[in-house]
Structure formats: C-alpha cells, structure tokens
Amino acid sequence: MYGGGNVFEAMKATALAEEDPKELAKFEARIDRGEKIEPKDWMPQLYRKQLIRMIEQHAHSEIIGALPEGTWITRAPGFKRKLALMAKVQDEVGHAQLLYSAAETLGKPREQMLDDLVTGKSKYSNIFNYPAFTWADSCFISWLVDAGAIVNQVANSKGSYGPYCRALERICAEESFHLKYGHHCVIHLATGTKKQQEMMQAAVNRWWAPMMHFFGPSDKISVHSDILMRWKVKMASNDECRQQFLDMYVPKIWELGLTLPDENLHKNLETGMWEFTEPDWEEFKRVINGDGPCNKERLAVRRMAEERGRWVRKALLAPKTKYVAPLA
Amino acid sequence: MTLKSLDPRVKRLGIPEEWDTPLSPKETLDQFENYEAFIQVKEGKALEHVGPVHAPNEEMAFLFAKEQYSRRGMFCNALCVVKTENIIGTEFSDNGISIYDAVTAQPSGIENQSYEVFHLLKRGKQHKYVGTVMAKDFEDALVVAKHTYPSQKPVFNVWIAESEHILTSNEEDKDMWETLKEKQYREAIDYKGQDRIKAYKERMGQA
Amino acid sequence: MNTEALKDLLYKIADDQLILGHRNSEWTGFGPLLEEDIAFSSMAQDKVGQSWQFYKILNELGESDPDTVAFMRNADQFHNCKFVELPNGEYDFSLIRHFLFDTAEGIRFNMLSTSSYEPVAQLAKKIKGEIKYHTMHANIWIKQLGSATEESIGRLQQALDYAMPYALGIFETSKFEADLKQEGIFDGEEALKAQWLTQIGEIIAETDLRMPEIQSLQPQLGGRYGEHTEHLQPLVEEMSEVFRVDPTADW
C-alpha cells in the first residue's frame, strides 16, 4: 500500500551533463517506444537513484503497513474475518518482499534497505504513523487506504522499469482481494447495528485527514518532475491520483450513510474536479519527519524484529556467500 | 519501561521504551542468497519466472517460493528454484533484434553437460522455460539453444542454468499445490456486498 | 456410533488447531525474515481453516455454530492441550512447537484418513497437502538450525527441553479411547504417540540436538478436559474482544 508524496532525490542541473549522450539518447528512445528498461540495460545514474529511492519507500510502506492492521489480527471477529485479515496482512509482507527484490535489481541489497528503514534514513508512507484504535479502523485501512494505493500502483505499473512493473502487476492482482474484503467489512459495519455504525463513523472521522495527505502535496511544476515523468518513473501527479480516488470512492462512502469530516468537500460540476478544505501540510511534514503518533512504535517494532531474528539469520549464513542481486 | 501499543502482540514483545544503543548495523553478509523462482501455471504450460526469494539454501528457497508465489494455488501446478548466481544471462537486445543474431558459432558437438534454457520474448514480461540442451559449457549451450529452439519472434534475452542446479517440485507432492475451496476467503470474488447495500438503501428510503 | 466419543475427539482437534493457528498468526510482521513471515502465516491460516472445518462437523452433530463455539466459550470449556496455548516466546520455541506439534498433527490426520467416520476421513484426506507442507517446513528448519551454530543449537535444545513435557500432553488419554478404537474412528493416542516418538527421533538424530529422556518427564496433562495454564483465558478474551461487543451482530 503506497500513496504519492514520494521523497525524491534532490537533483543537480548538471546531473545529466555527466552522462554519455549517445547512451542517454538510446535509453530515452527505448522509453519513448514504450519498451521496458531491464536491470542489465544502461541507465542514467539519476534514473537508478530515483527508482531505488521510490521502490524502497514503497517496500517500507508495505512492511510498516502490515502493522496498523496487524493491530487487529488476533481480534478479528469470526472465522471468516480472522482468516481474511491474516491473509491480508500476509499479502502486505509478501508485497514488501516483491518490492525489495525489485529495488535490489538496481543494486541496493535488501538488508541495507532494512537498516535504512530502522535508522530512519529512508521514509515510508505517512499514513501508517497513525494508530488503529478499533476494529473499524482496520476496516477503513483495508478498504480505503488500499484503494488509494491501488490508484497509485496502477499508474506506476505502466512505468518504464521492468522489475518494478512486474512486481506491481502481482501486487495489484492481490490488492483487488484487499479492496473487496475491506469494502465488505465497512458495508457490514455501516449498515449494521447502531454500535457498529458509530464505530465505523468514528474511524472515518479519524482517518480522513491522513487519507487526504496520503497522495502528497500538490506537485510543483519543475524540471525535476518533468524529467521523472519523461522517464516514466513518476506516472501521475499527486493531485491527479487524489482526484481519481475521490471520484471513485466518495460516492461509495456516502451511499453507506457515512459522512466525511470536511464540509467543503464536493464535486464542482463545471470543472469536474473535487474541491475540499486544503489539508494541513504542516502536520504532514511534522509526521514525515518523525513526530506522528506512531512513528516511534513502528520503527521500534521493526527494530525488535531485526534484533530477535538476528540469531536465526546468523546461524544459517554460509561464510562464503557473496551477494548477487536478483536477475529480474 | 516497555513501549506502549494498541497491538496486544506488540505489548507481548516487551519492546523497551528507549533503546540504550543504536541498532548495530548489519554485517555485510547478513543477507541470504537470492534464488529465482519459476512457476508452471497449469499442466502443459511452460515454467515462467515469477521472482526471487532470499534463502539460506535450496530447500528453504523452495519452501519460501511456494508460499510467496503460489499461495493462491490455482495459479500453480509446479515450481522450481535456481540460485541466482547459477543462472547465466546474455545481454538484452531490443527494437526487434534477437540476441541470437549475435551468436555465430557452431555447436561444439561435445554433449557432456545438461543445461536448461529460458527465453524472454517481450521486454517487461517474464522469462519462460523452453527446454534442455546438452553442451560443453554455457557459451556452447547458448549456441545449441539457438539451433534447438528457433523462435519466430525475436528473443531479447536468454538465461541458462545447469540442470543439476535446478530444484523442481516432485510429481508425488502434487497435493501440496492444491488450493482448497475453503481458501476462497483469499479471493476478491468471495466478497459480495451489493445486496446488503441495496437492502440498506431500501430500509433508509422507507424510514 | 458413539456421538459423545466422536465429539470428544473432534473438539480436541478443532481446539488445538484454532489455538495454535491463532498463536502462529501473531508472528506476521515480526519474523526473522520476510519469507518466513509469509510461510508461517500460511500455516496459521491452514490451522485456523482446519479448525473451522472441524467445528462445522461438530455443528452438524448438534453443537452450536462455529463462530459461537470458537468465540463465546471460556478457557475451561476448551479441549486443546496446554502446549498450544503457551505464548510464542522467541522463534526458537515457536519453531520447536511447530515441529513437535505438526509432526503429531501429520500422523493424526494420516490415521484419521481411514476413519470409519466418513466426514472426518474425507476432511483428513483433503488437507493432506497442507499437512505435508507443514511437516516439510518444520523438518527443514529443525535440521538446519539444529546443526548450525552453538547459539542456534543451544537455543533449540533449551526450547526442546522446555517444550517436551507439554508436547507429551498432546497425547492425553481420552475418556473414550476404547470406544473410538472399537468403532474404527481413531486408533488412539498411544498409537499416535509411539509413531510420533519414532518420527521426531529420526529428525533429531540428524541434528546436534539431544532427545530429552521421555520416561523421566511428567507430561503436562489436563488440557483435554478444561484444565489450562494461565495463558488461555487472556488469549480467548483477546480473540473474541470484537466479536463479544455484539455476538448477534453481523461483522
């Protein structure tokens, strides 16, 4: 599950001047033809760096994203929900595995990425720094956070880097189960007993602001995003993703008798665009920089998992092992 | 003091509120080797590359690949794993050119080693298994493959591995790949909510 | 057919699978490597799914519906052995438990596949593939870690010594052993235990681990008839926390 708001590498104006112009032209022509770039192909340093950064953030978001819903894994009500939530959280870990592998093809070992996650050097999606207070929160995440992630992932799956696209295709196929499962859960709560309805509405109220943050702030038009778009690293702007999400899901939320905590939220029928109260981007920044309700817990859990697993990994390491990145 | 959490599982881990030391960085080798996994989606179809797993050895790679790439079992009939370093890949070609065009040598005629060959027929898609060749070494295997498995479409990339480096699922373990219908809870199709929404709307309309 | 005897058997199997499946599911996200998180979760799902199937058979025999049975009882109404309710501890204990329990599980279901009670025989045959995977997974891990480093061998040995009296509790004699055998429903706990000792002995012999002196151990019994450790009641309360908010609601 991952939204927009990627933190991209700062770019120097001279970065491309250092690349071989002939290779660069071949590379760009290949992308223009709609062909995928594969790990052994020549690629500009900048392309490699930005992709590693983006895929790594995506992978971290999956593994950290397993935690808020995991909060309810031992408490899901009834067999069907219990099994489904187990399978869903398992999928998130599986997605992390797929994405770390895709990033590895670009030359950064997985263990190094996991280190960078725990030390706070690299980021993950902000939304997972919020707590899942009740069962209904986990239902909101399964349905709507996954829905937001799908909007973003479907766009990215049409990008230029082969291994990332292949990983995303698998991921999107599994996310369709998440989305249906989550929707099913929310339908049952929203149309259920008074207590269930209240529980669901309270969760919607809590998660709406983080959900609006999920896609990231408006992209500023810049050389930066221009070149990332041209190379098909970034496939849609944050605003486009947010609009698409609102268009697809606000009606579905409303039809369940749920309200959204933003009285300015409406679709402008003339422009066809959704209008809403500007999200609090100061809070977004604060949370990204570590000061959210659960940042500390999320990283501490990952660190604990690393520490507790160390003896297992150490026991099985073959001393001669040399690192070989995956092929595709 | 242990870390507070809403997750009962996390509470049981007894994570300290503050760590005394920073995380000791991983030793460079604290990472298992990569294995590439291939899956046959159904009887009669070619094995197809699905992705890598990290594992300490071949047997575990096999177990891990089974769960990572085939836990929705209706997509899997058989599986094999190969250690990544044991696969030799050619360069990639593009724009309609076959990588075999650059292979001009003739087969050596020495057939003392068995190799498995995989082709990539479309950039961005998966490598697919084409068959076995007998040859002297990797380069020779590529040459033999060109003659044994001619392709109508351009082949953009070839992977070759020694047959003995491949661990394949056993015929007698076929039952491991069956997915029970009780596992439908893992599939989108198992979740239908429209009737409930309709009933709710009718109820609200009446109210 | 002696329905009481049959229910006694089905309840203990169902409760074992549910409680251990629940425990195993706690690992998702916390395991020693990502691939193992995924593998462990699948086995947790298999077990919970199997328990559901057994509760459905019980339901057909007149017991309440599976959700009510699983989520509305208190600890003293559960028939699982104490072994499965123990907290996960570290990966060493979880793995040893997985190995000891799942070996027994494999043999039990194999025995049940020829049971005279057709629904159970069919179910046992149906889940054969799942069970095969569980034993394969356990054996590979034990062989690996049981002969790797001083630390891994030491940890597994300690876990094994601690776990063994509890594991012996799996085979607590049923009040209905004779009836079950006589009617061809199940060959009995003694027969199961004998096969189990041979099988785990074979695997342990391939490692640097030492088999504990079984004769000198006091098996941890009582679980089959509602006597449990202090860990089960909190587990049951946690598992049913949401369900019990409104047991009549549709979740």
Q: What is the DSSP letter of B37?
A: E
Task: Measure C145 CA to nearest chain B CA, in Å.
Answer: 11
CB contact under 8 A, A74 and B87: no
User: For residue C70, which residues of chain A lie inside 8 Å, CB to CB?
Assistant: 79
Task: Measure C13 CA to nearest chain B CA, in Å.
Answer: 18
Asked whether the predicted pLDDT for residue A222 surpasses 60, the reply is no
Q: Is C151 on the interface with A (CB under 8 A)?
A: yes
CA C166, C168, C169, C170 torsion: positive or negative? Answer: positive
Task: Measure B21 CA to nearest chain C CA, in Å.
Answer: 20
What residue ranges in A219-304 does DSSP mark as E strands?
266-268, 273-275
CB contact under 8 A, A89 and C29: yes
Q: Is A217 on the interface with B (CB under 8 A)?
A: no
Phi then psi for B147, rounded to 5 degrees? -80, -35
pLDDT for A69-115, tens place per residue?
999 999 999 999 999 999 999 999 999 999 999 999 999 999 899 99
How confident is the model over A131-140, as a mean pLDDT?
98
Domain-wise residue ranges, chain C: 3-245
State how many domains chain B has.
1
Query: C65: which residues sit within 8 A by CB, 6+ positions away?
Result: C59
CB contact under 8 A, C91 and A70: no
Please state, for a pLDDT cut of 90, what percent of chain C lies above it: 99
pLDDT score, position A185: 98
Task: Judge whether B128 lies within some domain.
Answer: yes
Entry field: residues in chain B: 207
Q: Is C246 on the interface with A (CB under 8 A)?
A: yes
List Cα–Cα distances, A114 to A83, A119, C34, C137, in angstroms: 28, 9, 11, 25
The reported pTM is 0.95
pLDDT band at C81 (very low <50, low <70, confident <90, very high): very high
pLDDT for C111-152, tens place per residue?
999 999 999 999 999 999 999 999 999 999 999 999 999 999
User: For residue A113, which residues of chain C lie inside 8 Å, CB to CB?
Assistant: none
pLDDT score, position A12: 65
Task: Judge whether B195 lies within some domain.
Answer: no
Which subunits have 3 or more CB–CB pairs within 8 Å of chain C? Answer: A, B
CB contact under 8 A, A301 and B127: no
List Cα–Cα distances, B119 to A34, B80, B122, in angstroms: 20, 16, 9
Please state, for a pLDDT cut of 70, what percent of chain A lies above it: 93
pLDDT score, position B170: 86
User: Residue B131: in which H helix or E strand, if any?
Assistant: strand B128-135
pLDDT score, position A299: 94
pLDDT for A253-270, tens place per residue?
999 999 999 999 999 999
Which chain B residue is nearest to residue C142, measuring alpha carbons? B60
pLDDT score, position B166: 95
Q: Is B202 on the interface with C (CB under 8 A)?
A: no
List Cα–Cα distances, C85 to B19, C24, C95, C170, C174, in angstroms: 30, 11, 14, 12, 19
pLDDT for A157-210, tens place per residue?
999 999 999 999 999 999 999 999 999 999 999 999 999 999 999 999 999 999
Lookup result for tokens 């570290």: C90
pLDDT score, position B44: 87
Coil, strand or helix at B40: strand
Q: Of C162, C161, C159, nearest to C92 (Cα)?
A: C159
CB contact under 8 A, C28 and A70: yes
User: For residue C130, which residues of chain B lie inside 8 Å, CB to CB?
Assistant: 176, 180
Q: Is C131 exposed, middle or buried (0-12, 13-18, 19+ CB in 10 A)?
A: buried
CA C161, C162, C163, C169 torsion: positive or negative? Answer: positive
pLDDT score, position C151: 97
Which chain C residue is nearest to residue A134, measuring alpha carbons? C242
pLDDT score, position A321: 59
How confident is the model over C145-164, as a mean pLDDT?
97
User: For residue C140, which residues of chain B lie inside 8 Å, CB to CB?
Assistant: 59-60, 63
User: For residue C33, which residues of chain A lie inside 8 Å, CB to CB?
Assistant: 309, 312-313
Query: A113 with A107: CB under 8 angstroms?
Result: no
User: For residue A118, which residues of chain C lie inside 8 Å, CB to CB?
Assistant: none
How confident is the model over C1-9, as a mean pLDDT?
94
Lookup result for tokens 């003694």: C190
Amino acid identity, position C68: T
Angle subtended at Cα C48 by Cα C4 and Cα C161, rounded to the nearest 5 degrees: 90
Q: Is C34 on the interface with A (CB under 8 A)?
A: yes
Q: What is the DSSP letter of C61?
A: T
pLDDT score, position A16: 79
Of A78, A79, A311, the CB nearest to C152: A311
What does B166-194 look like in DSSP terms, one character per residue? EEE--GGGGGGG---GGGGGGSGGG---H
Q: Of B63, B75, B71, nearest to B167 (Cα)?
A: B63
Task: Judge whether B15 lies within some domain.
Answer: no
User: For residue C250, which residues of chain A lie inside 8 Å, CB to CB?
Assistant: 188, 192
User: For residue C25, which residues of chain A lie inside 8 Å, CB to CB?
Assistant: 73-74, 86
Hey, which CATH number is domain C3-245, 1.20.1090.10, 3.40.1190.20, 1.20.1260.10, 2.40.160.20?
A: 1.20.1260.10
CB contact under 8 A, C25 and A86: yes
Q: How many residue pairs from chains A and B have C-beta atoms closer than 8 A? A: 171
User: For residue B8, which residues of chain C lie inside 8 Å, CB to CB?
Assistant: 238
pLDDT score, position A113: 94
CB contact under 8 A, A183 and B19: no
Q: How many residue pairs from chains A and C have C-beta atoms closer than 8 A? A: 128
User: For residue C22, which residues of chain A lie inside 8 Å, CB to CB?
Assistant: 74
Query: A258 with A207: CB under 8 angstroms?
Result: no
pLDDT score, position A2: 66
Q: Can you say how many angstroms the Cα of residue C215 is from the centroid of all Cα atoms in its chain?
A: 22
CB contact under 8 A, C39 and B56: no
What tokens does A59 get? 């992978």
Highest mean pLDDT among B11-15, B120-124, C60-64: C60-64
CB contact under 8 A, A89 and C41: yes
Per CATH, the architecture of A29-316 is what? Up-down Bundle (1.20)
Of B26, B33, B53, the CB nearest to A111: B26
Q: Of A103, A107, A7, A98, nearest to A55 (Cα)?
A: A103
Coil, strand or helix at A257: coil
Asked whether the predicted pLDDT for residue A221 surpasses 60, the reply is no
Of C39, C129, C238, the CB nearest to B67: C39
What tokens does C51 get? 């328990």
Mean pLDDT (chain A) is 92
pLDDT for C231-243, tens place per residue?
999 999 999 999 9
Domain of B162, in residue numbers: 30-179
pLDDT score, position A245: 98
CB contact under 8 A, A192 and C152: no
Which residues between 49 and 88 in chain B have a beta carbon less than 8 angstroms from any beta carbon of chain C?
53-57, 59-60, 63-64, 66-68, 71
Mean pLDDT (chain B) is 90
Q: Of A70, A59, A53, nearest to A11 (Cα)?
A: A53
Asked whether the predicted pLDDT for residue C94 surpasses 90, the reply is yes
